[in-house]
Chain A
């Protein structure tokens, strides 16, 4: 009983780990923030529903290492993302870039919303001009 209690107490005490690799933290807080943000946004291609920030796959670790190196060498976010997209394609970013072949993805919802709104306005206007049926229940 005591043992079970101690165990559950210990479980409760164990805090969630934030980084896969504790040595992952960069010294400079600005750089570290950039590092965390980019790794959260890069898809791990081996385990596609994880970002490289929370994947234990060796490839994710290699990419974290590269991103860390680039940040320490002074690369900015665009340069790092260009580096990754150049090698792994647009799929590597969770938020795809605006490209000619994915225009539908970006503009589709806006177009649909506009079409729907126009249809609604036209419909309402037309109904407004209909004679009011006094006998309607």
Chain B
């Protein structure tokens, strides 16, 4: 009996491989997982957008849960997510910090003037120095950073209400719960 069914072994192996490869067909290869999740935000020291003399560093993220949004005025995905960023800025108490990435200062200032400014502060990374240190490979990208300056999540591509509700809100809630627990 067992001997007769032996021919099923290669068939089962083949079926297993088909299942794995079939799944792979529907994965998006452009979504590369970030090696920074649960690691400290990489250090940087950059001038800010509105004031060239002022500097912004990763220490800015300390003490609150915040977003770090990589954007540029040449980036169409950033235009699509801009309303969502404004909504987050107006309806939640999660501060948004910006990394103005590979952009021209004048174009970036014009962008914020025309569309509204959801950012607390923007760091200017014209030459993609900090971008490389943060593993950025395209705009927009949004990092969720907790009160200890640890990166908890990274979203690649425009933010949408769906992604905000599914990926960001639960993580913000649990990070806040931990923060409250540690504080009491």
Contact = CB atoms under 8 A, between A and B. Distances in A.
B29 to A, nearest CB: 6
A98 to B, nearest CB: 17
A46 B137 contact: yes
Interface residues of B, number: 16
Interface stretch (A6-14, A23-31, A83-91): A83-91
Nearest to A112: B13
Nearest to B127: A62
B35 A87 contact: yes
B44 interface: no
A21 interface: no
Given A48-B29, A87-B133, A59 B128 contact: yes
Given A48-B30, A58-B102, A87 B128 contact: no
Given A58-B102, A59-B128, A62-B128, A87 B138 contact: no
Given A58-B102, A59-B138, A89 B32 contact: yes
Interface string B118-130: 0000000001100
Interface of B: 29-30, 32-35, 102, 127-128, 131-135, 137-138
20 contacts: A45-B32, A45-B137, A48-B29, A58-B128, A59-B128, A59-B137, A62-B102, A62-B131, A62-B132, A85-B35, A87-B35, A87-B132, A87-B133, A87-B135, A88-B32, A88-B35, A88-B137, A89-B32, A89-B34, A89-B135
Given A48-B30, A88-B137, 18 more contacts: A45-B138, A46-B137, A48-B29, A58-B102, A59-B128, A59-B137, A62-B102, A62-B131, A62-B132, A63-B132, A66-B132, A86-B35, A87-B35, A87-B134, A87-B135, A88-B135, A89-B32, A89-B35
